[in-house]
């Protein structure tokens, strides 16, 4: 991606690197803006790695005030977890679900879907404060399709699964009160179908209850993905979720670096380095190398996203998915355009350049927008990782603004010199340290 700007070589070179071409290598001093970009990029990577280390540091407990269980796993959303003991001789499952309230008048629910990993069809136990007494109550509900469509209030009714016993307590004992952040423990003993130990678990929480009818839960990405499936006999859920979480983080890191940083950096390289005569065709190879590297990393991240979608049936992120497909298609078109790049003297060259600019900048914009959308999908909208990315991106934008202003100043100065030369105020031999037009360059973008 390029831009027609005729700027003096010396001034622009000084902005980019503070070094004379004849100076020895030991005297090279990078410009502060380049140092800032490098430091911001390293800071961004550090924050992501730190987040990677803490993502798996969440723990679960097999012990409560009244029971001890054999196994436990941390669930992927809402800081929830499950502890359980499975008795193979009679196919009985004892479990405790740990969840947190998000409102003093809210609700917390856990359930089992006998057929599929989705909310519809779940047999749930929901805990909330009794509207009359304020005490914690636990009632059974069946989430049929009408609940998802909000056609009617959710009413409590007996479950059609073999529920032997159930209860709920607040963490902290009898003196505990329901408040925002309060932890609730939902106990259940369920008789499972023999030889069927892979269970679909569904959990969620809401802001308030109307009478004894829990209202709809929030619809953020985390709330919509509060579903998991694991084998209560082997306890394979923790490994499966660690794999999903690892893929999610790798997907986010690769795409933030490729679509969100490298691709814009490649565009900036073409826009501002192509007019530096001292570089010759080097700017083109740098530009192509950065963009091809970005597309390669972005393709890997895109493939991981497709894989995660296949591993999470019923969980969809419509806007993030559509933006991802659009950015990938535009990136693929840009890469293929290199194979059909006409020579500088070809009559279709100007049309190819217009296409190259439009598709390239569109890809950059979609990539950056989708990176921010990805932070929201991952529930990292207020995280330090997002802050680090914003710092890197704002540094790059600041460099672009500085170079753009410098280019306009030089362009206006050169235009004034040309006007004075035409009027005869200065001789034709009095030339500034300008550079030739892009049409005289050996390689063009």
Cα–Cα distance measured from residue 188 to residue 211, given in angstroms and rounded to the nearest whole number = 24
pTM: 0.53
CATH 2.60.40 domain position(s) in the chain: 71-231
Residue 101 CA, chain-centre distance (Å), reads 26
The tens-digit pLDDT sequence of the chain (445 residues) is 444 434 443 343 333 333 333 344 344 444 444 444 455 555 555 555 555 444 444 468 888 888 899 988 888 888 899 999 999 888 899 999 999 999 888 999 999 998 888 888 899 999 999 888 888 999 999 988 777 656 678 888 888 888 999 999 988 766 667 777 788 999 999 999 888 888 889 999 999 898 888 988 887 767 777 888 888 887 765 445 556 778 888 999 999 999 999 999 988 888 888 877 788 888 888 888 999 999 999 999 999 988 887 776 556 677 888 999 999 999 999 888 888 888 878 888 888 888 888 999 999 999 999 999 988 887 777 788 888 899 999 999 998 898 888 888 888 888 888 888 877 766 555 544 444 444 333 334 4
pLDDT score, position 435? 40
CA dihedral over 45, 303, 374, 113, signed as positive or negative: negative
pLDDT score, position 365? 93
Residue showing tokens 């991952």:
378
- What CATH number does domain 243-422 carry, 3.30.56.10, 1.20.120.1770, 3.40.50.12780, 1.10.8.80? 1.20.120.1770
**SS3 of residue 213 by DSSP:** strand
Cα–Cα distance measured from residue 107 to residue 213, given in angstroms and rounded to the nearest whole number = 10
Residue 217 marked ligand-binding: no
**Do the Cβ atoms of 433 and 276 come closer than 8 Å?**
no
CATH number of the domain located at residue range(s) 71-231 in this protein: 2.60.40
pLDDT score, position 5? 38
**Do the Cβ atoms of 18 and 413 come closer than 8 Å?**
no
Residue 200 marked ligand-binding: no
């Amino acid at each position: 991606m390029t831009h027609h700007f005729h700027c003096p070589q010396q001034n622009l070179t000084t902005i980019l690197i503070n070094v004379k071409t004849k100076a020895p290598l030991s005297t090279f001093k990078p410009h502060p803006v380049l140092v800032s970009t490098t430091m911001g990029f390293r800071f961004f990577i550090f924050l992501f790695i730190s987040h990677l280390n803490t993502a798996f540091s969440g723990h679960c407990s097999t012990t409560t005030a009244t029971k001890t269980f054999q196994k436990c796993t941390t669930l992927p959303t809402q800081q929830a977890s499950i502890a359980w003991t499975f008795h193979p001789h009679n196919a009985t499952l004892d479990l405790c679900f740990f969840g947190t309230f998000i409102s003093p008048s809210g609700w917390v629910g856990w359930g089992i879907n006998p057929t599929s990993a989705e909310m519809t069809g779940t047999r749930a136990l929901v805990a909330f404060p009794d509207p009359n007494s304020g005490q914690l109550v636990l009632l059974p509900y069946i989430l049929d399709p009408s609940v998802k469509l909000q056609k009617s209030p959710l009413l409590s009714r007996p479950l059609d699964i073999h529920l032997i016993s159930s209860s709920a307590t607040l963490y902290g004992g009898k003196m505990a009160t329901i408040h925002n952040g309060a932890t609730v423990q939902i106990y259940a003993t369920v008789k499972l179908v023999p030889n069927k130990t892979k269970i679909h678990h569904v959990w969620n929480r809401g802001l308030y209850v109307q009478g004894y009818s829990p209202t709809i839960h929030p619809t953020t990405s985390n709330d919509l993905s509060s579903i998991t499936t694991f084998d209560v006999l082997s306890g394979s859920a923790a490994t499966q979720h660690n794999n999903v979480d690892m893929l999610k983080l790798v997907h986010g890191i690769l795409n933030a670096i490729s679509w969100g940083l490298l691709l814009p950096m490649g565009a900036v390289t073409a826009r501002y380095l192509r007019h530096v005569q001292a570089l010759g065709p080097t700017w083109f190879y740098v530009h192509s190398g950065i963009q091809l590297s970005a597309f390669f990393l972005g393709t890997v991240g895109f493939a991981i996203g497709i894989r995660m979608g296949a591993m999470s049936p019923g969980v969809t992120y419509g806007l993030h998915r559509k933006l991802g497909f659009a950015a990938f298609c535009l990136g693929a078109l840009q890469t293929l355009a290199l194979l059909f790049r006409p020579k500088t003297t070809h009559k279709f060259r100007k049309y190819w350049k217009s296409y190259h600019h439009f598709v390239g900048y569109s890809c950059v914009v979609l990539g950056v927008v989708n990176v921010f959308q990805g932070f929201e999908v991952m529930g990292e909208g207020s995280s330090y990782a997002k802050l680090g990315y914003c710092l890197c991106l704002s540094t790059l934008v600041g460099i672009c603004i500085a170079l753009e202003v410098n280019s306009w100043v030089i362009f206006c100065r050169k235009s004034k010199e040309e006007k004075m030369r035409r009027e005869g105020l200065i001789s034709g031999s009095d030339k500034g340290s300008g550079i030739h037009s892009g049409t005289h360059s050996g390689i063009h973008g």
